[in-house]
């Protein structure tokens, strides 16, 4: 069950990183085209928190799987 959760976390983390725009404007170009994530600042903050939470979860599960073997 944890391996399935880890796989889903990996896929979602890859997708969330691809959503980020690499230039300095961040998500402002995306947020001005659609009101899906609210203002560009709140969208950027939300994606930052989500990304760091997923990275933390990834490392916790990776350490757990490494200690099992």
> For position 55, what pLDDT does the model report?
92
Q: Please give, one letter per residue, the 3-state secondary structure of 31-61.
A: HHHCCCCCCHHHHHHHHHHHHHHHHHHHHHH
> For position 18, what pLDDT does the model report?
83
> For position 53, what pLDDT does the model report?
93
> For position 58, what pLDDT does the model report?
92
Structure tokens at 46: 């939300």
- What residues does each domain of the chain span? 2-68
pLDDT in tens, 14-53: 988 887 765 555 555 555 555 555 566 777 788 888 889 9
Q: Judge contact between 54 and 48, C-beta under 8 A.
A: no
């Amino acid at each position: 069950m944890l391996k399935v959760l880890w796989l889903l976390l990996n896929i979602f983390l890859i997708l969330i990183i691809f959503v980020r725009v690499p230039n300095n404007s961040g998500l402002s170009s995306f947020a001005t085209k659609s009101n899906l994530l609210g203002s560009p600042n709140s969208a950027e903050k939300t994606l930052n928190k989500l990304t760091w939470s997923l990275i933390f979860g990834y490392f916790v599960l990776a350490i757990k799987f490494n200690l099992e073997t």
